[in-house]
């Protein structure tokens, strides 16, 4: 912290540190404030004089914590925290100026009460990065009901639309295992008792979520993010298997997870298993990979790669410096 900060400013920072780290020792509090432990105790005294019940315990595991029943003051954000919050909201395609968007409305309230030094950069980011309307966002109340069903392990009766053209939602009873977010979309992973199968549902297409008395236990060892990714990359028309001369970790940095499931075959070899309805699009994604690879099957993908390679090669055959007619 700035050495020229006032005692009040340092006392407020001490309060934030104690709130975030209950049981923090005087020595550690002093280090975080950039002062001696004796000075840290002085700032704790300032807080106590202001009526804030700071409790302390001695001994090896002693430290400071806030007493029960104390109502914490408004949140305090650093510039980095405020910018991170703004970027997260904009990344989720929320508009600060849209009063009908609960997330955007809440963010606007936060910006209004931030100190000028913090609010300025946050407002600049908001102005420079307009929100995108490409993705439909889930209703916050519906999302909250779904998440509550996951955490409380209660079956839900959902009103669900399978596509944008569906006039009416159909009813399905689902054990909501987990919620996962991929590329800005919110998905519910669960077991549909209506279809007697595992399902991945878009939460923005859920119109109602009614809790049922039935409870459930999620599958042991469930990896929601991986299960959703596997579901979204499987089941298309053309089955794909590709072997890369590089590790799965390296390849994962070059291609989107929607192409399929990556698995290591050795220290410098990996395999991609997936499916696609669009071999041309799939081939264009593979063009970003800068290591040798082999398409083990899928003649349609091989043909798409050959067409792409031919098109790229043809683009180099015009003589250099010749003006375009």
* 105 and 147 both lie in a single domain: no
* 163 and 213 both lie in a single domain: yes
Name, in order, each residue with C-beta under 8 angstroms of 171's C-beta and a sequence gap of 6 or more: 157, 158, 159, 160, 194
pLDDT band for 102, please (50, 70, 90 cuts): low
Name, in order, each residue with C-beta under 8 angstroms of 212's C-beta and a sequence gap of 6 or more: 154, 155, 156, 157, 173
Nearest-angstrom CA–CA distance, 317 and 323: 14
pLDDT in tens, 281-294: 899 999 999 999 99
Question: Is residue 293 domain-resident?
Answer: yes
Phi, psi of 322 (to 5 degrees): -85, 120
Is pLDDT above 60 for 90? no
Q: Taking the CA atoms of the chain, what radius of gyration do you get in angstroms?
A: 27
Considering its fold, how many domains does the chain have in total? Answer: 4
Nearest-angstrom CA–CA distance, 244 and 261: 13
Q: Which domain holds residue 307?
A: 234-313
Nearest-angstrom CA–CA distance, 93 and 8: 38
Which range (8-22, 125-139, 158-172) has the least confidence?
125-139
pLDDT in tens, 163-172: 665 567 889 9
Let me know: does 117 contact 79? Beta carbons within 8 Å.
Answer: yes
pLDDT in tens, 177-217: 998 887 778 899 999 999 898 999 989 899 999 999 999 99
Q: Where are the beta strands (DSSP E) in 277-322?
A: 293-295
Question: Is residue 229 domain-resident?
Answer: no
Could you tell me the two tokens for 73? 């003051």
Nearest-angstrom CA–CA distance, 245 and 294: 9
- The phi-psi region of residue 51 (left if phi > 0; otherwise alpha if psi is between -120 and 50; otherwise beta) is left
CATH number at residue 255: 3.30.70
Place of tokens 């919620």: 179
Could you tell me the two tokens for 66? 């806030």
Question: Is residue 322 domain-resident?
Answer: no
Helix (H) or strand (E) holding 11: helix 7-20
* 147 and 183 both lie in a single domain: yes
Question: Is residue 216 domain-resident?
Answer: yes
Residue-level pLDDT at 186: 86
Let me know: does 93 contact 132? Beta carbons within 8 Å.
Answer: yes
CB-side neighbour CA atoms (13 Å) of 102: 8
* 145 and 216 both lie in a single domain: yes
* 238 and 304 both lie in a single domain: yes
Nearest-angstrom CA–CA distance, 42 and 36: 10
Question: Is residue 262 domain-resident?
Answer: yes
Question: Is residue 33 domain-resident?
Answer: yes
Question: Is residue 265 domain-resident?
Answer: yes
pLDDT in tens, 16-51: 888 878 889 888 998 988 899 888 889 999 888 888
Q: Is 320 exposed, middle or buried (0-12, 13-18, 19+ CB in 10 A)?
A: exposed
CATH number at residue 172: 2.30.30
* 155 and 206 both lie in a single domain: yes
Residue-level pLDDT at 189: 94
* 209 and 147 both lie in a single domain: yes
Question: Is residue 247 domain-resident?
Answer: yes
Nearest-angstrom CA–CA distance, 58 and 70: 21
Nearest-angstrom CA–CA distance, 91 and 106: 15
- Enter the pTM of the model: 0.53
- The arithmetic mean of pLDDT across residues 103-112, rounded, is 69
Helix (H) or strand (E) holding 176: strand 170-182
DSSP 24: B
């Amino acid at each position: 912290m700035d050495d020229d900060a006032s005692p009040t400013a340092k006392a407020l920072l001490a309060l934030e540190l104690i709130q975030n780290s209950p049981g923090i020792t005087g020595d550690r509090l002093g280090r975080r404030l950039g002062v001696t432990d004796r000075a840290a105790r002085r700032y704790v005294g300032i807080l106590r004089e202001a009526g804030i019940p700071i409790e302390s315990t001695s001994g090896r595991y002693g430290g400071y914590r806030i007493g029960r029943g104390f109502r914490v003051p408004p949140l305090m954000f650093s510039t980095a925290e405020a910018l991170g919050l703004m970027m997260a909201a904009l990344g989720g395609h929320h508009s600060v100026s849209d009063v009908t968007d609960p997330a955007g409305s809440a963010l606007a309230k936060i910006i209004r009460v931030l100190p000028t030094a913090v609010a300025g950069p946050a407002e600049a980011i908001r102005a420079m990065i307009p929100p995108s309307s490409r993705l439909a966002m889930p209703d916050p109340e519906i999302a909250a009901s779904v998440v509550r069903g996951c955490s409380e392990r209660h079956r839900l009766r959902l009103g669900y639309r399978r596509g944008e053209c569906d006039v009416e939602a159909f009813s399905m009873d689902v054990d909501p295992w987990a919620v996962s977010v991929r590329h800005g979309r919110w998905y519910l992973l669960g077991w549909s008792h209506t279809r007697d199968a595992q399902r991945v549902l878009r939460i923005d297409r859920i119109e109602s979520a009614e809790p049922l008395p039935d409870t459930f236990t999620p599958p042991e060892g469930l990896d929601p993010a991986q299960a959703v990714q596997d579901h979204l990359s499987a089941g298309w028309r053309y089955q794909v298997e590709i072997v890369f001369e590089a590790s799965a970790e390296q390849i994962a940095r070059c291609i989107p997870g929607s192409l399929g499931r990556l698995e290591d075959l050795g220290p410098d070899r990996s395999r991609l298993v997936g499916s696609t309805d669009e071999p041309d699009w799939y081939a264009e994604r593979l063009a970003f990979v800068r290591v040798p690879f082999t398409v083990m099957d899928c003649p349609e993908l091989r043909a798409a790669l050959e067409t792409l390679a031919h098109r790229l090669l043809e683009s180099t055959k015009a003589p250099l410096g010749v003006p375009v007619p």
